Each structure stands twice: as structure tokens, then as C-alpha cells.
Amino acid sequence: MDYFRRKKQNILDPLDPNFLKRKPTGFSRSSSPEELPRQGDLAPSSIFDEGGGRKESAPGSPPRPEHQSRPSNRDPAVLAAALDPHPEARQRWQRRKIIQEVRSRGQLTKAQRIARTERESLSKSQFYKTSIKKLMPLARQIAGKPIEEAIIQMRFSKKRVASDVKKHLEYARDEAIVKRGMGLGMVKREADPPAKPGKPDGTAGDDGKQDQQFSGTVVEDKKGKRRFVSDTSSIYVDEAWIGRGPYGVDYDFRARGRTNILRPPETSITVRLKEEATRIRLMEEREEKRRRRKVWVALPDRPITAQRQYCLW
């Protein structure tokens, strides 16, 4: 009887209130926190550390233990796996880019120069339960308009899917500002101190730059409509197109136990946002092309190459 009594005492009952306080025999784990390295602490230069580093203990309070005051142990191999997951592929890509730069002798193409000087953001929405026929007019309506004007158009539109398009435009605008730094020209000009004016002889001031302020200009879009632009960094919708998504499944219950299977379509909208500086450049290129265009002549003076000099009769 003593044997079974001892076995019963060693069994852990989950209904026992002291179940969580007990530990199984044979399990030993050091309770000293000094042996457990802390991971994921804030770096000394982190912007989320309000104290500018590790906060020291207040005067009169007991000193912190050694395991709380020491820096966290971070494994460089673990950080490298997240920051540089494929080092061989990165090295091959860098080698290929260096070869391309050497072959081109450091000269940038027009596409590379535009990509370095101008910003753009591409944003695709989720699939909406609507058809291409219903969503395409909204895409034509917002294309070419400033982002704020496009949001206002979707706000007062009577289309049911216009509210979803409005939410996506707001998300695309915020994403372009945060990720690409678009639309911050006015904020930067207000934050920076005003430049010193130039000298009377036309030379620059002490900072080496002449005071140049953009007062605004009139730009022409692809459709020929003119708009006044006061900020070159303001965002506008350059393109908007529709994408066909998967078809869903719905049921239409009819009389006599019959059921029709409906296939409602799903459609997405994609917008490409750019800054007004891009539209100004495109307008200047079109005007330069018009100036270089030659006047059409009915009978231009050009040499005869595919005919004989004399008649054959």
C-alpha cells in the first residue's frame, strides 16, 4: 500500500491549483538571469530611445544588476542572414554592374539619369468585386489629375466602387510620401533657412548658390489640358490601369429546386504616381520637338535617285 501511495503522490494532477507551481523531477534550469543573454535591445543610436542611450538609475534607487546594465549579445551571423540573405548573388550583381559601368565609361543613359533624379511610386490595389466595364471609367477619370483632386473626384462619385478607389488613392499617396519621399518639397523649403541673396553684380552669395525660388508655371498634360503648378514636388496620377482578377462563385436559387451558378468577376486597379517635375520635363521635351519640326512642303527639293536622267521614248 505504501508503494501505490508514493506513486500517487508523484502524479501531477492538472486540476490541482498547485499544478503550475510544481516542476517535474530531473529538470534543472538555471534561474540566474546572468546566464541568459538578452537579445533585441535598443541600439545606443536608436531614435526610439528617449534617454539618448541606456537610462541610468535614478539617484537614491538601488543599483541595477550586472545582467541588466551590460549590452545585449547580438550574433553577427544572425544579423547578416537578415540584412544580406544571399551574399553570393549580391556579389555577382555588383560585379555585373561594375562591368556595365566600365563598358559605358561612366556615362549614364537617359533612363538611368531620369531614375536618379525623378521619383515615382507604383501601387496596386486588392481585388474588388466589380467588373472591368464598371471600373475602367474611374481609371480614365483620375488619370492625369493631381492626387488630391483625384481623391475629391472619387469622394463625390456616385459609383459604388468609387469609395474603394478613394481608399486606395489615399494609401498610395501615403506610401509614396513615406517610402519614396515624394511631395516633400514645400516642407523642405519651409524647414531650410532662406539662402543669402546674390551680390549686385549677379554673382552668388556666400553659400555659393544663387537664390532661386520656384514661383510656379503652367504645364500641359498628355491630353492637352493646361494646369498651374506651384510646387514641383507635388504628386499627380500619371497612369491608372485595370487588371482582371479571379472569378468567384455565387449561387442563384431558382424555382423547382434549381440552382444557377454565378461567376462574379474581381478587378484591381493600379496607379503610377509621379511628381510635377516629371510633367514639366515632358512638356519641355514636347515643345522642343515642336520647335525642331520642319515645315511640311508639298514638293521638297531632294535629289532624284531612283529615276533615269532622260526619258526612254
Listed in sequence order, the residues at least 6 apart from 293 whose beta carbon sits closer than 8 Å to its beta carbon are none
Number of other residues whose CB lies within 10 A of the CB of residue 219 = 21
Q: DSSP per residue over 35-56, as a string?
A: GS---SPPPTT-TT-TTSSSPP
Q: What is the CA radius of gyration of the chain?
A: 35
Q: pTM of the full predicted structure?
A: 0.63
- Say how far apart CA 197 and CA 204 lie, in whole Å: 7
CA geometry: angle 228, 231, 236, nearest 5 deg:
75
Position 71 scores a pLDDT of 53
Contact present, 135 and 269 (Cβ < 8 Å):
yes
Position 118 scores a pLDDT of 94
- Say how far apart CA 159 and CA 286 lie, in whole Å: 36
- Say how far apart CA 273 and CA 170 lie, in whole Å: 12
Contact present, 204 and 195 (Cβ < 8 Å):
no
Residues of the chain with pLDDT under 50: 6, 27, 31-37, 53-55, 67, 200-211
**Residue type at 150 in one-letter notation:** A
**Assigned C-alpha cell, 252:** 442563384
**Residue type at 227 in one-letter notation:** R
Tens digits of residue pLDDT in 20-43: 666 555 545 554 444 444 555 666
What is the number of H-type helices and E-type strands within the chain?
Answer: 10, 7
